[in-house]
Structure 1
Amino acid sequence: MVPLYPDRSYVFGRAPESTVVFPHDAVSRQHGRLSFREDHRWVYRDLNSRNGSFMGLRDGGEPGDERLHFQRMGPSHDWVLEVGDVVLLGNGKSRITLLAEVPQGLVAGPRAKQAASAVTVQLERAIDRCAHHHLPVFLRGDSGTGKTFIAREIHSRSGLDGSFVILNCGRLPQDAAALTSELLGHVKGAFTGAAFARVGKLYSANGGTLFLDEVEFLPGIAQDFLVDVLEGTGSFAPFGAPADFREPPPRFRLISASKVPLRQTGLRPDLAQRLAAGDFIILPTLEERREDIPHLVESFLHRLKVEQQYDAELTRDAIAFLQRADWPGQIRELESTVKTVVAREAAQHVLEGLERQRVIVTLEAVTSYLEQRELGFGGPLSSAMPRTTLPGVELPPSARKRPGDLTERDIREALAKHEGNKTRAAAELGVALNTLKARMKTFGIE
């Protein structure tokens, strides 16, 4: 079960980089894409797949090859889907079924139920509190701490009938007409290229939640617009609507988020006061909740298994290593690291003919990736990179050498210090395990 969010699109295919992977050979590498169109409808587009896509109704009950009773979906064309529709991929052995709602307990990446850290327990309580009132909520947290996830959780637990709609304030247009189209929508034919009516973000959130992400970047013209909306003044007509347009103004729960305190956002004082007229949640950093990292890793692996078909686990020492690392990119960076090391190891399995075996990600695989990533960022211990150390291994910045500068003495001393443990010696020397082994071979060290 994969929940569908209007702010995302979903690519289905056999390729590992697809949003949802179908491993059957009859499915093309990138078979089709599901997205939420401007007119508020889910549409599927076949991406020129080899064996085609076919649309029909759920539980058709027809015997034989179902494709004979389904409509072939031509490529390069949007096909509108409704609840109950089924899309067959290729020979029909793989399928997508649209459900009205996600059954409880079957969501990819389930919410944490066993939070270990005290700050996460407090965060869970704050989310539940906000879900039981409909006041505005202001979220403050570093980039990557999960502000969008928390906002979505508040909406999900509040039981509102409407949708959760994300408005990225840093990407709003400065032009008045384009801004009106983005927030209030436009009618068909309102301008060249308006092939169908568009439902604006504010009306999309009607009866639900409007999430203002990166509110500190809200343009001045959009601030004026939003104040009028919140005060119930001004016009709510979509762009190009007739003069006699009459539509009740949208009503929604407002959640806003920023990386900086509200007073430092530079917002209009009256708008800032409206955003502050409710609850506040200050999101903890990953450094404040290191005890949660093993469970976070478990959640990432679960999602990878559901969506990407990766059956993987990290060894205990690899998880301990991640738990001690510094993560300036917070949860987003940790998740990206887990996804990448799993994908790299799975690809290696394919190369070695072991793709049907479970992927075991070792400490060596994690440190090797992080070292390459660090070099890709432009050198040792860049401020943008996590500082990673093993338990019992101290590695001041000055102690790192380039692999080619390591002497036989450096290697022998590190090995002696860690009683021959190559993994710990490599971590102290600041090199990948394979690099250490290569240097050992050069010096004739057993």
Structure 2
Amino acid sequence: MTRETEAKAGEEEEGHNGPSLNRTTTIPLPPSIQEPPASPTPTRRERIPRELLASVDAEPYREPKALRVHREGVPDLIVPLYPDRSYVFGRAPESTVVFPHDAVSRQHGRLSFREDHRWVYRDLNSRNHSFLGKVELPFEGDEREYFQAMSASQDWVVEPGNIILLGNGRSRITLLAEVPAGMVAGPRPRVGGSVAAVQLERSINICARHQLPVFILGRSGTGKTFIAREIHSRSRLDGNFVILNCGRLPQDASMLHSDLLGHVKGAFTGAAFSRVGKFYVANGGTLFLDEVEFLPPAAQDFLVDILEGTGSLAPLGASPDSREPPPRFRLISASKTPLQQTRLRPDLAQRLATGDVIVLPALEERREDIPNLVETFLHRLKTEQQYDAEFTSDAIAYLQQVDWPGEIRELEATVKAVVAREVAARAIDGVGSSRMMITLEAVKVYLSQRRMGFGASVAAPPARHSMALPAVRKRPGDLSEQEVRDAFDKHGGTKTRAAQELGIALNTFKGLMKKFGIE
């Protein structure tokens, strides 16, 4: 299995398709604001009116599939858009995409998929505001003068071709109609890997070349959602990838009907607009039933009716004689439990496993893939959050030896946490943003604290795999310049870590650096 396939396996088990590098379509301005021939560049007074930016009801809504993120000083980033996720943009490290520019607020704006199946952007009360445009013209001066200021705490419907400025033109997002093949940022796939990974990669490619149902069996954290999404992406289907988390469906019959088959405006109190059910949103695409073992009996009946093309498929509140044609979609389901051990209707369970069955290997079975996975996670941190980090070889070897009860998801969370802690330590020490070297000690400290937080005993890997480093325990006055310099370089310029390895206080270490003239 390639690293590109596994890039999001850990985080997407709970369920980040994205910007294209295709050129944004230029939308001609109406005659009332077109430039005269003698003046090709618009002036300030010719700001694009809001009505030109808004969606026109007479035209069908066009759903963006990707983002192109432009940040000053770094390559453009391609981010796939998934309806089951929201995307936060800002300077804060926890943002989906981090913009390091000072004009961007810590949490500047959020892009999400609304219940009426439109992508909406909301400014999160940013200091310098967000601005919406729909054309790319050679504006003179500040582009914000020609874009529409987006009022905060209000949803703005966006479509392919829209451009959002975050604070100013140096930080921007472009909505794109498609995700071009091979354009999503990520490290180049590495040939090889464990036998289990190679077999999994082959299974994904086989499933992508037929339209039979697929059932995915695997532990929590092994990447079932991402594997389903990867099958859909490689199938090149025109429709959406729709996730239905069967464990979170409403118990109320009316709400369940609305969720799966939709409702008409006014069907119940609070139904301010019509809603398309998830079964129909998946029409022409893929319906992914996550945690299918928890699918309620009423939902099982709905699903069997759709698969058989029988029963009433009308949205909630529609006239009694209304009948919608059954939606057609690729069906992928996933569970932690074998189908025979679930409470699913036998005929439905048979349908789910009619085509392919993929059994995801545990991380225990493919420890040799851990270095590739870590590199993939680090690459994502670099492109999305501007964290440039590398794990030492002994730290990687240690990660290959410890147990991962949370599977790939836990491994990825560990990589993110250790890097974030290192960034924070560097900020305290006043160290610059040069490439960070994540040491074995940093990994051990984090995992030890994590295990204690869970109330588990801190057990080291088997002795034959022990990677413990001998601690230097000299008196500060006996430390040589070379020992101080080696510790400083080994930890990427982090004084705190270097001092810990030498067994001396941080201020003592700083004094030795000054004494030896180490910058």
TM-score range, shorter chain: 0.7 to 0.9
**1:8 corresponds to 2:85:** yes
Q: Is the partner of 1:192 in helix, strand or coil?
A: coil
**1:211 corresponds to 2:288:** yes
Q: 2:390 aligns with which of 291, 313, 322?
A: 313
What is the CA-CA distance between 1:309 and the residue it aligns to? 1.6
What is the CA-CA distance between 1:391 and the residue it aligns to? 5.3
**1:170 corresponds to 2:247:** yes
Aligned to 1:285: 362
**1:150 corresponds to 2:237:** no
What is the CA-CA distance between 1:388 and the residue it aligns to? 4.1
Q: 2:275 aligns with which of 192, 198, 202?
A: 198
1:322·1:388 contact (CA, 8 Å) conserved in 2? no
1:32·1:44 contact (CA, 8 Å) conserved in 2? yes
* Count, aligned residues: 400
**1:102 corresponds to 2:175:** no
Aligned to 1:403: none
What is the CA-CA distance between 1:94 and the residue it aligns to? 0.5
- Gaps of at least 5 residues in structure 2 are 1-77, 474-486, 488-498, 506-519
What is the CA-CA distance between 1:247 and the residue it aligns to? 2.9
Q: Is the partner of 1:351 in helix, strand or coil?
A: helix
CA 264–52 in structure 1, closer or farther in 2 if over 3 Å, else same = same
- Gaps of at least 5 residues in structure 1 are 396-407, 409-421, 423-432, 440-446
Q: 2:264 aligns with which of 187, 198, 212?
A: 187
2:215·2:334 contact (CA, 8 Å) conserved in 1? yes
1:346·1:355 contact (CA, 8 Å) conserved in 2? no
**1:393 corresponds to 2:466:** yes
TM-score for the superposition, normalised by structure 1 = 0.85
**1:241 corresponds to 2:314:** no
Alpha-carbon separation, structure 1, partners of 2:293 and 2:151: 44
CA 344–389 in structure 1, closer or farther in 2 if over 3 Å, else same = farther
What is the CA-CA distance between 1:262 and the residue it aligns to? 1.0
Alpha-carbon separation, structure 2, partners of 1:132 and 1:354: 51
What is the percent sequence identity of the aligned residues?
Answer: 71
2:394·2:467 contact (CA, 8 Å) conserved in 1? no
Alpha-carbon separation, structure 2, partners of 1:13 and 1:325: 35
Aligned to 2:153: 76
1:115·1:292 contact (CA, 8 Å) conserved in 2? no
Q: Which has the higher contact order (CA 8 A, sep 6+)?
A: 2
Aligned to 1:55: 132
1:58·1:97 contact (CA, 8 Å) conserved in 2? no
Alpha-carbon separation, structure 1, partners of 2:117 and 2:350: 32
What is the CA-CA distance between 1:392 and the residue it aligns to? 3.8
What is the CA-CA distance between 1:354 and the residue it aligns to? 2.0
Which residue identity does 1:167 align to in structure 2? L
CA 110–153 in structure 1, closer or farther in 2 if over 3 Å, else same = farther
What is the CA-CA distance between 1:324 and the residue it aligns to? 1.3
Aligned to 2:449: 372
Alpha-carbon separation, structure 1, partners of 2:293 and 2:460: 29
What is the CA-CA distance between 1:116 and the residue it aligns to? 1.0
Alpha-carbon separation, structure 2, partners of 1:195 and 1:110: 45
Q: Is the partner of 2:169 in helix, strand or coil?
A: coil
Q: 2:349 aligns with which of 255, 272, 288?
A: 272
Q: Deviations over 1:7-46 (max 9, x none)?
A: 1000101100111110111111100000011111110000
Aligned to 2:495: none
Alpha-carbon separation, structure 2, partners of 1:364 and 1:69: 53
Aligned to 2:334: 257
Aligned to 1:222: 299
Which residue identity does 2:243 align to in structure 1? I
Root-mean-square deviation (Å): 2.3
Alpha-carbon separation, structure 1, partners of 2:192 and 2:140: 49
**1:349 corresponds to 2:429:** no
What is the CA-CA distance between 1:227 and the residue it aligns to? 1.4
Q: Is the partner of 2:131 in helix, strand or coil?
A: strand
Alpha-carbon separation, structure 1, partners of 2:463 and 2:325: 60
1:3·1:108 contact (CA, 8 Å) conserved in 2? no
2:398·2:467 contact (CA, 8 Å) conserved in 1? no
CA 88–341 in structure 1, closer or farther in 2 if over 3 Å, else same = same
